[in-house]
Amino acid sequence: QVQLVESGGGLVQAGGSLRLSCSISGRTFGSSIMGWFRQAPGKEREFVAAITWSGGRTYYADSVKGRFTISSDNAKNTVYLQMNGLKPEDTAVYYCAADVQYYGSTVSYRGQYDYWGQGTQVTVSS
């Protein structure tokens, strides 16, 4: 069993920055991939970024590429999402997710992720 707890959300003005954290407890595996997703009101949950637990390979949605950075501290069992240049359209609940048996295929498919956190609200004002 894996538990994920997000933190770091809040209210920020457009152009500002936030850093989200995802604290991981329970078992983790070298073959895991950790992802960040977001869901705005009335919209589908969408992929934001992902990082492989072993090797730190990163992936990003086109909408956040160049503005967001995903990273991990394996010793602290924590994944981060640094968000810079925030826009009002980034407003959403952000979720951390874990795929504990990642074999190098898709990274953005919600159904591949086995565990999810409860989410943290990010609101960007114009």
pLDDT at 31: 78
| Average pLDDT along the chain | 95
Residue 105, pLDDT score: 84
At 5, list the tokens: 């707890």
Predicted pLDDT of residue 55: 83
Q: State the pLDDT at residue 27.
A: 74
- pLDDT exceeds 80 at position 119: yes
What confidence category does residue 1 fall into, taking pLDDT thresholds of 50, 70 and 90?
confident
Gap between the Cα atoms of 124 and 88, Å rounded: 5
Q: Give pLDDT tens digits for 49-80.
A: 999 988 889 999 999 999 999 999 989 999 99
Tokens at 4, concatenated = 């994920």
φ, ψ for residue 94 (rounded to 5)? -105, 130
Predicted pLDDT of residue 71: 97
pLDDT, residue 103, reads 84
